[in-house]
Amino acid sequence: MAAQHGVRTLVGFVNSAPVPWTTDHKSCGGALVPGSEVAYASYLAAVVAHLHDVDHVTLSYVSPVNEPDASQPTCRQEGMRVPVSQRAALVKAVASALAKKAPYARVIADESSTVASQFLPEAPHWLNAHGATSSIAAIAHHTYDYPPLPVLRQVAQLGQRFDKPLWASEICCRNERGFGYQFDPTMTSGLWLANTIWADLTQAHDSAFDWWTALSPRLGCNPVADPGCTSGVNPLGRNDALLYYDPAAATDHNETLYPTKRFWALGNFSRYVRPGAVLHQVSGVPAGARAVAFESKGTWSIVVIDDAPVGTPPMPLTLRIPTGRALSPVTAVQTSDRLDLAPVPLPRVRSGTVTTSVAPHSVTTFVFTPSPRHGRPSTAALNGPGRAAGKSGGRANTVQNVRTARA
């Protein structure tokens, strides 16, 4: 269905190899059989080729192992361990098999669960193996330890060291203590997701961000008996999805979908920051707020996150966008406690300087396109650091400078 709806980039990932290639002959609790890498890789390539040739579905990427330190011994889901010493052989075998049977697909790996205890110490060992880095298109990691900013900066250093794009390929399910049970559809969780995306893109320099799952029944409450429960926090559900449905829909025929603020806050990024956009960081942002900018073919998208509590005065913003082309504001949308990716007043733009304000406890996206009466942009201005129009002075007098970071 994703292919039918025109999704351009499809990724196939595997939780467990088929049971002939697991040590316990189950799809959980075991490990990849040593020496089975070539046979397993050939099977994966055959599946990818079948999808392409028979079903007309093209996978652009294949992830042959998911969270390789975890075998899922309770069998609540599929999983298999792949020791660090086996990962290079696996990715090389899959890359070779795809090159022969499905050359349109590339490998990503290794989708470790946590950054600090698994990804950072383990990835260099298999990436250093001869031919490993040339076999992968991107280095993928999960962030289920919800790493602080200094740890994410180490991820960026690892990507630079091996000269490969980084992907934040899975995250979900955070409560106020970390990973665990909780259903929170409110803006508190929406802001957490927006700040997580900001951190992964600007600190880890990830070039892709994936939320775990779109749809879940884990509301932790009965929306038919208590219709208001879908808008409040409870400890019995899970923050695993963006949208929820009634788990008893088959019997009570309630087919309503219940969106969360995570759904709308993700849209502040995903609807306006498209593949191929170049990341720019924003400096001079006051405490309690974050911002990031993206440029694609002269169009700029700026996302501003304001964590200030409801009731705080709106935050004034003055931004200088480093381009020699005049820009026109075309979109301003906001997600907040009362708005769901809804239009808000367009900012003012004069000589490359943007003036506006954002509401507290919100995520706001501004989009600017080149004014048609002006010529080509100045390459030097686009690639240079730009200049701040003044100095920042707290929430009431904020001047920000958009400066080029790593793409």
Q: Is residue 215 part of a domain?
A: no
Q: Is residue 229 part of a domain?
A: no
Q: Is residue 193 part of a domain?
A: no
Q: Dmax over Cα atoms in the chain, in whole Å? A: 68
Amino acid 345: pLDDT:
97
- Dump pLDDT digits (tens) for 116-144: 999 999 999 999 999 999 999 999 999 99
Question: DSSP code of 406?
Answer: -
Q: Is residue 225 part of a domain?
A: no
Which of 224, 142, 136, 218 has its CA nearest to residue 185?
A: 218
Which of 241, 235, 268 has its CA nearest to residue 257?
A: 241
Q: Round the average pLDDT of the chain to a whole number and report it.
A: 90
Query: Which secondary structure element, helix H or strand E, spans residue 89, and what is its range?
Result: helix 84-101
Residue where one domain finishes, among candidates 170, 197, 220: 170
Residue where one domain finishes, among candidates 136, 170, 204: 170
Q: Is residue 202 part of a domain?
A: no
Amino acid 248: pLDDT:
96
Residues 163, 16 share a domain: yes
Amino acid 257: pLDDT:
98
Q: How many domains is the chain built from?
A: 2
- Dump pLDDT digits (tens) for 269-301: 999 999 999 999 888 788 889 999 999 999 999
Domain limits at 317? 275-404
Radius of gyration of the chain measured on its C-alpha atoms: 23
Q: What is the pTM of this model?
A: 0.90
| Structure-token match 């934040």, residue found | 168
| Structure-token match 């899975």, residue found | 170
CATH for 58? 3.20.20.80
311 pLDDT above the threshold of 60: yes
- The whole-number average pLDDT for the span 201-213 is 96
Q: Is residue 71 part of a domain?
A: yes
Cis amide bond preceding 110, omega within 30: yes
Rounded CA separation 305/358 (Å): 9
Instruction: Count the Cβ atoms, other than its own, within 10 Å of residue 215.
Output: 11
CA distances from 404 to 152, 227, 271, 322, 323 (A): 19, 47, 22, 9, 11
CATH for 361? 2.60.40.1180
Q: Is residue 212 part of a domain?
A: no
Amino acid 10: pLDDT:
96
Residue where one domain finishes, among candidates 150, 170, 190: 170
The residue among 203 and 374 whose pLDDT is bigger is 203
Name beta bridge partners: 80. Answer: 30
- Dump pLDDT digits (tens) for 230-276: 999 999 999 999 999 999 999 999 999 999 999 999 999 999 999 99
Residues 287, 165 share a domain: no
Q: Is residue 239 part of a domain?
A: no
